[in-house]
Amino acid sequence: MRGLFHPKNYHSSAFSSAEPMNLLRAVLSDFSAIPYENLTKIIKFARQGGRAPREILRHPLEVFEDHERYGLGGTCFSLTYALKSLLDPLGIPTFYITADMKTGKNVHCALIAELSGAQYLVDPGYLFSEPLPLLNGGRKKGTSQKFVFAALEQREGRWNLLTFHPSAGMRWRYAFDDIPVSENEFFQYWRASFFAKSMNHLCISCVSEDRQAFFAGDFMRVTTPVSKTNINVKKEAHKKVREVFGIEEKIFFEAREALESLRSIKV
Give me the tens of pLDDT residue by residue for the chain, a chain 267 residues long.
335 676 667 665 455 556 899 999 999 989 999 999 999 999 999 988 765 556 899 999 999 999 999 999 999 999 999 999 999 999 999 999 999 999 999 999 999 999 989 999 999 999 888 899 998 766 655 556 566 678 888 888 899 999 887 666 788 999 999 999 999 999 999 999 999 989 999 999 998 878 889 999 889 999 887 788 999 898 899 999 999 999 999 999 999 999 999 887 754
The CATH number of whichever domain residue 32 belongs to comes to 3.30.2140.20
Is residue 236 situated within a structural domain?
yes
Is residue 33 situated within a structural domain?
yes
Is residue 50 situated within a structural domain?
yes
Separation in Å, CA 63 to CA 73, 164, 165, 169: 6, 29, 29, 33
Distance CA 202, CA 135 (A): 36
Q: How many CB atoms lie within 10 A of CB 267?
A: 4
Is residue 67 situated within a structural domain?
yes
Determine the pLDDT at residue 156. Answer: 86
Instruction: Please choose, from the candidates 245, 242, 222, 244, the residue with its C-alpha nearest in 3D space to the C-alpha of residue 147.
Output: 222
Distance CA 119, CA 93 (A): 10
Determine the pLDDT at residue 141. Answer: 59
What pairing do the DSSP bridges indicate for beta strands 169-176 and 203-207? unpaired
Distance from the Cα of residue 83 to its chain's centroid: 10
Structural domain containing residue 245: 7-266
Is residue 2 situated within a structural domain?
no
Is residue 64 situated within a structural domain?
yes
Structurally, the chain folds into a number of domains equal to 1
Q: How many CB atoms lie within 10 A of CB 22?
A: 11
Determine the pLDDT at residue 142. Answer: 59
Query: Does the reported pTM lie above 0.85?
Result: yes
Is residue 1 situated within a structural domain?
no
Going 177 to 183 to 188 to 191, the CA torsion angle's sign is positive
Determine the pLDDT at residue 52. Answer: 59
In the chain, the DSSP E strands lie at: 36-37, 94-101, 104-115, 118-122, 132-133, 140-145, 148-155, 158-165, 169-176, 203-207, 212-216, 219-223, 228-232
Is residue 129 situated within a structural domain?
yes
Determine the pLDDT at residue 185. Answer: 97
